[in-house]
């Protein structure tokens, strides 16, 4: 049971292992995509279709689960599926329902664990394989693997790393589950933190914050949904930047123009924007964006 790109290596790993008979895939219904609103299957659905695996796409899983039970699965693996799995399904499989979650639980329970770990400046995250229960990522932990978050990692790069780690950890853990060689660990709820889905407010850069907070916010939202700032009533998406020291200006003010960036005053220094997309235009390096622009026309302007 899975939906986005992140889940694809997990499903493909199960198919290619030859150890397991993947009898069904459950994914979110097809969605309209792009300007032409073309009805498009999820990435996981595409893998199921290409491998001739029975595909179920219930609108509301809480009410439409009988087809899943009829498949008589021995175990159900979920990974970024996107709907609450009802008790009727959780209680059915012989070996239970397990989840591949992109954090070191009990930290970052919820729908945006990769984004939140980077935004919060964490130095490591990882994958947790857990038994599912009716709570939000509250089930007993079966296995975990840590992954370091490098200073230049973005949500996109960590997404790709963690999806592979998730696949490999699952394939290592499954035989132990089936052979009864696991000792599940109950999560310490007092240590739990949460990773709710990203809101529009989360995307808006507040330059009165520290340079490090802004740096983490920008990379934590790259490449989706992308942080933004507002200048002259236009929205500018900010994809990357670096930190410099400065004591002049007020937060949000453009204080320096570099060959490769736009320096904006923060609470404690300067954040230099190095990749930007002006509203209605394509993404550019700051160097490309600055071509033909006069430095004096930008210096002193202020982001809202």
Q: Work out the widest C-alpha separation in the chain, in whole angstroms.
A: 70
The tally of domains found in the chain comes to: 2
Q: Answer yes or no: is 49 within a domain.
A: yes
Q: Is the pLDDT of residue 292 over 90?
A: no
What pLDDT is attached to residue 12? 98
Q: Which helix (H) or strand (E) holds 161?
A: helix 155-178
CA distance linking residue 98 with residue 132, whole number of Å? 5
Shared domain for 67 and 169, answered yes or no, is yes
| Mean pLDDT value of segment 6-32 | 96
| Mean pLDDT value of segment 222-229 | 97
Is pTM beyond 0.85? Reply is yes
| φ, ψ dihedrals at 295, nearest 5° | -55, -45
DSSP states along 12-38 = HHHHHHSSS----EE-PPPEEETTTTE
Q: Is the pLDDT of residue 178 over 90?
A: yes
Q: Minimal CA–CA distance to 41: which of 2, 99, 84?
A: 2
Computed over every residue of the chain, the mean pLDDT equals 96
The answer to whether 48 touches 27, Cβ cutoff 8 Å, is yes
The answer to whether 1 touches 77, Cβ cutoff 8 Å, is yes
Q: Is the pLDDT of residue 137 over 90?
A: yes
| Mean pLDDT value of segment 32-47 | 93
Q: Answer yes or no: is 92 within a domain.
A: yes
Q: Which of 171, 191, 211 marks a domain boundary?
A: 191
CA distance linking residue 179 with residue 177, whole number of Å? 6
| φ, ψ dihedrals at 213, nearest 5° | -60, -40
The one-character DSSP state at 173 is: H
pLDDT tens by residue, 6-16: 999 999 999 99
Shared domain for 218 and 236, answered yes or no, is yes
Q: Quote the domain boundaries for residue 206.
A: 200-298
CA distance linking residue 259 with residue 238, whole number of Å? 17
Q: Which of 165, 191, 217 marks a domain boundary?
A: 191
């Amino acid at each position: 049971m899975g939906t986005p790109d992140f889940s694809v290596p997990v499903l493909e790993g199960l198919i290619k292992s030859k150890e397991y008979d993947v009898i069904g895939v459950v994914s979110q219904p097809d969605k309209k995509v792009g300007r032409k609103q073309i009805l498009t299957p999820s990435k996981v659905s595409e893998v199921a279709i290409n491998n001739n695996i029975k595909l179920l796409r219930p609108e509301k899983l809480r009410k439409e689960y009988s087809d899943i039970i009829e498949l008589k699965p021995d175990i159900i693996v979920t990974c970024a599926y996107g709907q609450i799995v009802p008790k009727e399904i959780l209680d059915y499989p012989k070996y239970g329902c397990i989840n591949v979650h992109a954090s070191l639980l009990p930290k970052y329970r919820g729908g945006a664990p990769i984004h939140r770990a980077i935004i919060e400046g964490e130095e490591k995250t990882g994958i947790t394989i857990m038994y599912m229960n009716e709570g939000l990522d509250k089930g007993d932990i079966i296995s975990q693997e840590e992954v370091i978050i490098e200073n230049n990692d973005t949500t996109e790069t960590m997404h790709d790393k963690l999806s592979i780690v998730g696949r490999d950890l699952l394939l290592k853990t499954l035989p132990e589950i089936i052979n009864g060689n696991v000792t599940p660990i109950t999560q310490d709820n007092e240590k739990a933190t949460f990773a709710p889905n990203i809101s529009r407010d989360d995307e808006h850069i507040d330059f009165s914050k520290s340079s490090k907070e802004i740096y983490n916010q920008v990379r934590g939202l790259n490449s989706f949904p992308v942080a933004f700032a507002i200048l002259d009533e236009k929205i500018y998406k900010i994809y990357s930047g670096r930190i410099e020291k400065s004591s002049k200006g007020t937060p949000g003010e453009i204080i320096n123009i570099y060959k490769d960036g736009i320096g904006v005053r923060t609470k404690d220094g300067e954040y230099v924007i190095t990749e930007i997309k002006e509203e209605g235009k394509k993404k550019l390096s700051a160097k490309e964006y600055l071509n033909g622009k006069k430095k004096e026309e930008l210096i002193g302007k202020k982001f809202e």
